[in-house]
Amino acid sequence: MRMVVANWKMNHLRRDAEAFCATLLASYRPVDGVVAAIAPPFPLIPVVSRLVAGSGVRVYAQNAHAEAKGAYTGEVSMAMAMDAGCTGVLLGHSERRQYNGETEATLLPKVKAAAAQGLMPMLCVGETLAQRDANETLEVLRGQLAILAQAPVSPIAVAYEPVWAIGTGRVATVEQIAEVHAFIRKELATLMGAPGAQVPILYGGSVTPENFAEILKVPHVAGGLVGGASLDPAKYLKLLEIASL
């Protein structure tokens, strides 16, 4: 299975989302084995969910809280995300880790809560440039993935995003991607047993229609978590086309 997940981050207003979906649905046709998903900002989830209903395009939340309800001003529960139309949720994106202080301790209950609610968690992992330069990449990833030993949920996906390649125009080399994805696959097998062999591992970090085909040739790469390029419906359609080849 391949996945192409559009992470809109904090971009687009209602009119932009409506225009995007109109262009997307005019050309999009589901392909067996290729999952198309959009992760809009929270206010746009109901808009996008309504517009893509019945098309095969899935909708993900960019984050959600571990608690089911309560006095958590500004937060959204897993049940609320699902009620708004989501079937999955991104967890632990590097920007959440950097700007919102998310750690393995806060992500473990989120992974469990998502699975319990019926949302597919996509756990994001990745190293900073300083960590890579210090040859700490695999150690960092091992620590980020370790929570799956305590939450061996299925289905689940993992997205590897080298922090230094997100929105910078820099992309990890094929050799770097291959090394990390092989390592993640091995770790998943250790942490989860046989189900670890079936977990999709996506690559993210300045993915574009120009480099996606080469990235998909790397063993254990099951698709892309796409940022900037996913804001353009024409580029997103091209990425889906490439994933279907």
- Map out the domains of the chain as residue ranges: 2-244
**pLDDT value of position 167:** 82
* Residue of 12, 93, 181, 220 marked catalytic: 93
**pLDDT value of position 171:** 78
Q: How far is CA 160 from CA 16, 94, 155, in A?
A: 28, 10, 17
**pLDDT value of position 170:** 80
Residue whose token pair is 């517009």: 51
* Residue of 95, 102, 127, 161 marked catalytic: 161
CATH hierarchy code of domain 2-244: 3.20.20.70
- 39, containing H or E segment: strand 34-39
161 is catalytic: yes
Q: What is the pLDDT of residues 176-204, one digit of tens each?
A: 999 999 999 999 999 999 999 999 999 99
93 is catalytic: yes
Q: Where are the alpha helices (DSSP H) in the chain?
A: 14-27, 45-52, 78-83, 94-100, 104-117, 129-133, 137-145, 174-192, 212-216, 233-244
Q: What is the pLDDT of residues 13-31, one digit of tens each?
A: 999 999 999 999 999 999 9
Low-confidence spans in the chain with pLDDT less than 50? none
